[in-house]
Structure 1
């Protein structure tokens, strides 16, 4: 017997009542987190998880086991990993792409073309990671399988360029251009490598010329020192064929140095020497440094300038040039030699017992007949030079 319209409507209301109220449909999405739950369905996943828990996500684990079924042939498995790597590559996830291509190569399938592509693609991923040597190794491996594989040749040329192997870059480009003379990337790479190679060769020639000039100046400096009978300290004069550790390294301008004060002996264009000179004031623990003391200058000339105004540490105002005395110490013998203030630097350096230490002549400055001077020289042998 057919139901009336009223009965049918009542039945529909009863059915809908089941979905009203607090009770939810079993397996329904949560109103608050439905997007996250939706993304957990394998078919709708935007990004596959790096690790799969079969208990938490059995559906995805099932699909993954189907994809990588060990019953598949090595070729099929390698191809699957290749496609997976390509997807990662498109997403610019180059680390995962490298892993996928590596897994594909581990299958050791017999498909030469597929293995070539896996090596070439992995080379590209390694290249974008900045692993140029690894990328080059893959390009070489791809060419072993397929010598005329243009992508492998192009990738290898780019790796050589990044590694600054400019001659090898040009060689790889030439090999690729024999296959395709119009390959734009190879033409650009060859041009760039040729330009960089010329620049490198020019810089190398300039560096060699600079080295030759510096060596020539070192030899001239050493000859000038030896001709003047100036002696380096024994520890620094073992090898008289080069400027040794006793003298600072020589450069073209004669100014730069590895020591703290940044000055050193220099042979000027007139054949004269200028030295960095250190004055020590033991009574006050003070020093003065002259960066370029001309060898023909007298000590008194510098003292007059240095003490034109008395230094703040000279409270007693006794450091007057005419009242100052100069000395140097012979460390080997433990003796002290006095130098007249009218003496030139060259005359002092030519004394038979003066040895220049660390490239910097050093002199003591004391006040004549001061109590400190008498105590300082007590028990020491002092020589007075004429």
Structure 2
């Protein structure tokens, strides 16, 4: 009989294995976690982690150290960064793609073709990020190294179109067509840029015509106001500026200043005075009732309409806030205030708006003529007028 093999020397293995008897391995793959576990292994990863932590991903940190070993040549490192950038680009992670391509360009390798690719690819990533200026700068650098690089030309054209530089886009198309006369994309881009250029030119012409029409209307409006000797309020800073001007200042500049000033003082409702087809002024007028802190707004008050005509319509019925029912046209007195002198001028309701606005002490402020309305003989009427200086009626 064959003798039994001699017993192995005890190395403690049996005791070590005994620790696991009856215990279930908890970290094994299961139907629920196998994809997650596989994704931790570099070979099977579908996507690189956003932040590379050497403790959490030691395998990746090791691979990265090998890939980006500074002992490699600039060409090898630039190519590695290019490949990394391409990977990020495919994942649409354009910010990281830009960083990778930039690192590749920092290597300053002697491979001109590789540098062209790095510039062109970085331009594409910048384009998708909306950084059209940066993208254009990159394709310009790429074309310095390779003037006829088709991708650089096309991406440059796209940048010019996004920047509304249609003439330059067309020029780049023409340059590209010199060496690629049948390139479909160049032909289509040129047609698109030319169409958009024509639309832009048409819009510019329309804008100029609108501005000219607006300027002519503003000039006519100011002329009508000046003919009626109506004064417009000017802020203190503009008034002092005008007083300091030399007498020889260009009259046209002063007219433009006043045009801009008047065009900018809209009423609260965005309505401004305008000339109708018969050359008459129509104003947005405020009627103020200080006793009740109320007001009425007449958006189009014809300059030759009498105040009584509006009051008769406005107070045909008592307003809700007139609880004492005392606001009847026959009971009302109208005033305008000279803020500079703190004087009150009574307005005859039979007067027209033009007569009031042409008064030598009336100043139109903020684009809205304003009239105070009081009930004659009321207690508020007496109190309100007691502290005011009354002047003759208009």
| TM surpasses 0.5 | yes
Shift in CA distance, 342/24, structure 1 to aligned 2, threshold 3 Å: closer
Question: Which residue number corresponds to residue 43 of structure 2?
Answer: 43
* Selected match of 1:319 from 323, 327, 330: 327
How far apart are residue 359 of structure 1 and its match? 1.7
How far apart are residue 201 of structure 1 and its match? 0.9
Mark the runs of 5 or more structure 1 residues left unpaired by the alignment.
Answer: 3-17, 250-256
SS of the residue corresponding to residue 336 of structure 1 reads strand
Distance 2:193 2:29 in 1: 61
TM-score by length of 2: 0.83
Question: Which residue number corresponds to residue 118 of structure 2?
Answer: 118
How far apart are residue 90 of structure 1 and its match? 2.6
SS of the residue corresponding to residue 103 of structure 1 reads helix
RMSD of the alignment, in Å? 2.8
* Selected match of 1:241 from 236, 246, 255: 255
* Selected match of 1:352 from 354, 360, 372: 360
How far apart are residue 112 of structure 1 and its match? 0.7
Question: Which residue number corresponds to residue 331 of structure 1?
Answer: 339
Shift in CA distance, 107/323, structure 1 to aligned 2, threshold 3 Å: same
* Cα pair 1:150 1:179 within 8 Å, conserved: no
1:173-212 equivalences in 2 (<5 Å): 173-212=173-212
Shift in CA distance, 306/245, structure 1 to aligned 2, threshold 3 Å: farther
How far apart are residue 370 of structure 1 and its match? 3.0
Distance 1:321 1:134 in 2: 70
Question: Which residue number corresponds to residue 300 of structure 1?
Answer: 308
Question: Which residue number corresponds to residue 106 of structure 1?
Answer: 106
SS of the residue corresponding to residue 284 of structure 1 reads coil
How far apart are residue 211 of structure 1 and its match? 0.6
How far apart are residue 50 of structure 1 and its match? 4.4
Question: Which residue number corresponds to residue 261 of structure 1?
Answer: 269
Distance 2:57 2:392 in 1: 98
Shift in CA distance, 71/211, structure 1 to aligned 2, threshold 3 Å: same
* Selected match of 2:287 from 279, 284, 305: 279
Shift in CA distance, 24/42, structure 1 to aligned 2, threshold 3 Å: farther
* Cα pair 2:267 2:368 within 8 Å, conserved: no
Q: Deviations over 1:323-342 (max 9, x none)?
A: 22211111222221112111
Distance 2:210 2:29 in 1: 77
Shift in CA distance, 148/345, structure 1 to aligned 2, threshold 3 Å: same
Distance 1:47 1:314 in 2: 75
Distance 1:235 1:88 in 2: 58
Q: How many residues align?
A: 363
How far apart are residue 56 of structure 1 and its match? 5.3
How far apart are residue 35 of structure 1 and its match? 4.2
Shift in CA distance, 37/308, structure 1 to aligned 2, threshold 3 Å: closer
1:205-224 equivalences in 2 (<5 Å): 205-224=205-224
Shift in CA distance, 281/200, structure 1 to aligned 2, threshold 3 Å: same
Distance 1:58 1:316 in 2: 88
Q: Deviations over 1:132-176 (max 9, x none)?
A: 111111101101111111111111111111111111111111111
* Cα pair 2:161 2:193 within 8 Å, conserved: yes
Distance 1:365 1:339 in 2: 10
SS of the residue corresponding to residue 124 of structure 2 reads helix
Question: Which residue number corresponds to residue 30 of structure 1?
Answer: 28
SS of the residue corresponding to residue 276 of structure 1 reads strand
Distance 1:230 1:258 in 2: 17
Shift in CA distance, 300/84, structure 1 to aligned 2, threshold 3 Å: same
Shift in CA distance, 23/321, structure 1 to aligned 2, threshold 3 Å: closer
Deviates more, 1:258-267 or 1:232-241: 232-241
TM-score by length of 1: 0.85
How far apart are residue 373 of structure 1 and its match? 2.1
Distance 2:38 2:229 in 1: 93
Question: Which residue number corresponds to residue 364 of structure 1?
Answer: 372
How far apart are residue 383 of structure 1 and its match? 2.3
Mark the runs of 5 or more structure 2 residues left unpaired by the alignment.
Answer: 3-17, 243-253
